[in-house]
């Protein structure tokens, strides 16, 4: 029989996994930008290392593709122009708020807002492009993890 302590532990683990799963794809662009700011080097003029930045951008794109597979497939087939709109909006926003000094922009934060907006734009584009809007993001993953957590608790007894 499972003790009350084990049940509470299992519930806490399940809630933690559910919370993590629900935000896993929420900020691909913003996370990639933040990682570029913290991981890439800058020259004496504050310009970011372009190859490093492109690597981080690629990881952001991979994150979006993994998070929105239907939209990604539709976009690859030329059937989701909303993604191009989001990319153009991001480019216009960074041009407007960027100072030309990438290092200063990373520290100041205004350009980061552009990437957060891009994440919201992509989410809306995904829904318009056939992605199923999930009122409980990450729920299928969370349920698998929930059952794994309960199995773990049961096996520990």
Rounded distance, CA 10 to CA 114, Å?
Answer: 39
pLDDT for 154? 53
Residues 38 and 59 reside in one and the same domain = yes
Average pLDDT of the chain? 79
The mean pLDDT value for 116-129 works out to 96
In 3D space, the residue among 17, 37, 15 whose CA is nearest the CA of residue 98 turns out to be 37
Q: How far is CA 136 from CA 14, 111, 141, in A?
A: 15, 29, 11
Residues 17 and 32 reside in one and the same domain = no
Residues 38 and 11 reside in one and the same domain = no
Residues 93 and 59 reside in one and the same domain = yes
Residues 7 and 32 reside in one and the same domain = no
Q: What domain range includes position 15?
A: 1-24+138-157
- Beta-bridge mates of residue 42: 48
How confident is the model over 52-97, as pLDDT tens digits?
Answer: 999 999 999 999 999 999 999 999 999 999 999 999 999 999 999 9
Could you give the dihedral angle defined by the CA atoms of residues 75, 81, 84 and 89, in that order, rounded to the nearest 10 degrees?
-140
How confident is the model over 141-152, as pLDDT tens digits?
Answer: 444 444 445 544
Residues 10 and 67 reside in one and the same domain = no
Domain count, the chain: 2
Residues 69 and 19 reside in one and the same domain = no
Residues 10 and 33 reside in one and the same domain = no
Using a pLDDT cut of 90, give the percent of the chain over it: 66
- Beta-bridge mates of residue 2: none
Residues 113 and 143 reside in one and the same domain = no
Residues 14 and 57 reside in one and the same domain = no
Residues 81 and 122 reside in one and the same domain = yes
Residues 97 and 110 reside in one and the same domain = yes
């Amino acid at each position: 029989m499972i003790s009350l302590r084990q049940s509470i532990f299992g519930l806490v683990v399940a809630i933690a996994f559910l919370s993590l799963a629900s935000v896993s794809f929420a900020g691909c662009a913003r996370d990639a930008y933040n990682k570029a700011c913290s991981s890439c080097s800058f020259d004496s003029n504050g310009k970011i290392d372009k190859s490093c930045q492109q690597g981080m951008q690629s990881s952001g794109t991979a994150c979006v593709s993994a998070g929105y597979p239907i939209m990604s497939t539709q976009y690859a087939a030329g059937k989701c122009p909303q993604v191009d709109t989001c990319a153009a909006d991001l480019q216009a926003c960074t041009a407007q708020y960027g100072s030309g000094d990438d290092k200063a922009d990373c520290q100041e934060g205004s350009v980061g807002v552009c990437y957060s907006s891009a994440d919201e734009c992509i989410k809306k584009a995904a829904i318009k492009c056939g992605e199923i809007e999930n009122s409980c993001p990450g729920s299928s993953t969370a349920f698998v993890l929930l059952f794994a957590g309960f199995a773990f608790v049961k096996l520990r007894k």
